[in-house]
Amino acid sequence: MKNVLDVLRERGYVKQVVFEDELYELLGKESVTFYTGYDPTADSLHVGHFVTLMAMAHMQRAGHRPIALIGGGTAMVGDPSGRTDMRSMMTKETILHNVECFKKQMSRFIDFGEGKAMIVNNADWLYDLNYIDFLRDVGACFSVNQMLTAECFKQRLERGLSFLEFNYMLMQGYDFLELNKRYNCVLQAGGDDQWSNMLAGADLIRRKVGKKAYALTFSLLTTSEGKKMGKTAKGAVWLDAEKTSPFDFFQYWRNVEDDRVATCMKLLTFMELDEIAELTAYKDERMNAAKERLAYEVTAIVHGKDTADRVLKEVKASFSLDVDNMPTVEIASPIGIIDVLVKSGQCKSNGEARRLIEGGGVSVNETKITDYAWTLPEEITSKGEFVLHKGKKVHLRIVIK
């Protein structure tokens, strides 16, 4: 069987590796227990987490044992990595709620069957730590001088860093040590922004128990301009269907930039590499087929095949104006066009709707609406439904209740 590190490299997951050759050998000869941590800072996982979950899934398929660590304890401290300001503190209740949400979502991607994988919460060992004991035991192993040179604190050293957050690194390091002791976990994987935190843990294990530990970071999903992917007008792209509808989720991937398609396919689907190469070899409108495939595959993994099938049908109907199968929104007795736009959720306020119409972005049944005082004519109200277009990407069937 292929070494999983090769698989991950080919697909473009791997960014940095500690003791690369040794780790490669280890992964090639035995089942390795590894972990990736997720801080429950929201009530749903998002696209950024998804990349690492996929990497975990690949590793699990290669026979290794993943531990999904949910940072119920570390979330109480807040990770300063990549942040320009302090995170707002979350209450224990919120964190607890988020932990539950994460657990539910993760089981869709990772098989948590007996002995195959585990899900643990670092609150189990962090909440009850004794300050003095912890300082003597773990704090003594860290050099402030060294910590200050870490990349993850650089930005914050210019803008301010609280002692609370400064301790995050120790917490994460301690997690790795704890997992190493409890489950013989020898590898930590995670987003590249976690590099210094991961090294801290590997170092701590070496110093405390004299064993080798490894770290591996994954590339973050970025746009061609290097910005983090997964943000839209409505905020992050969530994996929770309630927060980002499967339709919107699908459309997000359907609309990625051309030169991101191959990357996304490699990182977010299980598609074979040669198939990906084939599909993305074009530089013209044939890319659209690849994008549709990407969107379908990702949606199927996140929301299930049935949902992906349904959404694909809806999307196709929507763009080919096949009224019977288009996404439909029911609204109660709309008066004018502004009312329709707001009630259907396409505009946040009347003013926004008005401006959109003035800008020429709205059509009803193929007729562009130019007057915001426009009201539904008799032939539409008697029929009880019509097609609403917002821009060229939103096509809805509106049914009047």
Cα 331 from Cα 324, distance rounded (Å): 17
Pairing of strands 362-364, 367-368: antiparallel
Is the CB of 184 or the CB of 349 nearer to RNA?
A: 349
In the complex, the smallest distance separating the C-beta of residue 94 from RNA, rounded to whole angstroms, is 20
How many of the other CB atoms lie within 10 Å of CB of 377? 11
Is the CB of 63 or the CB of 391 nearer to RNA?
A: 391
In the complex, the smallest distance separating the C-beta of residue 10 from RNA, rounded to whole angstroms, is 24
In the complex, the smallest distance separating the C-beta of residue 128 from RNA, rounded to whole angstroms, is 27
In the complex, the smallest distance separating the C-beta of residue 254 from RNA, rounded to whole angstroms, is 5
- Are residues 197 and 152 in contact, defined by beta-carbon separation less than 8 angstroms? yes
Is the CB of 84 or the CB of 146 nearer to RNA?
A: 84
In the complex, the smallest distance separating the C-beta of residue 237 from RNA, rounded to whole angstroms, is 12
In the complex, the smallest distance separating the C-beta of residue 58 from RNA, rounded to whole angstroms, is 27
| Residue found by looking up tokens 């008005």 in the block | 354
Is the CB of 218 or the CB of 253 nearer to RNA?
A: 253
- Are residues 253 and 296 in contact, defined by beta-carbon separation less than 8 angstroms? no
Q: In the numeric block, which tokens belong to residue 202? A: 């590997």
Is the CB of 160 or the CB of 384 nearer to RNA?
A: 160
Cα 253 from Cα 239, distance rounded (Å): 13
Is the CB of 46 or the CB of 354 nearer to RNA?
A: 354
- Are residues 391 and 361 in contact, defined by beta-carbon separation less than 8 angstroms? yes
CA dihedral for 5, 61, 256, 84, sign (positive or negative): negative
| Residue found by looking up tokens 């089981």 in the block | 107
In the complex, the smallest distance separating the C-beta of residue 311 from RNA, rounded to whole angstroms, is 10
Q: What residues contact residue 9 under an 8 Å CB cut-off, 6+ apart?
A: none
Cα 152 from Cα 376, distance rounded (Å): 57
Is the CB of 68 or the CB of 341 nearer to RNA?
A: 341
Is the CB of 77 or the CB of 177 nearer to RNA?
A: 77
In the complex, the smallest distance separating the C-beta of residue 339 from RNA, rounded to whole angstroms, is 9
Across 257-286, b (16+ Cβ under 10 Å) vs e yields: eeebbbbbbbbbbeeeeeebeebbeeeeee
- Are residues 296 and 250 in contact, defined by beta-carbon separation less than 8 angstroms? yes
Under the rule (CB under 7 A), what is the footprint of RNA?
86, 157, 159-162, 224-225, 231-233, 251, 254-258, 283-285, 287-288, 291-292, 315-316, 318-319, 348-352, 354-356, 359-361, 390-394
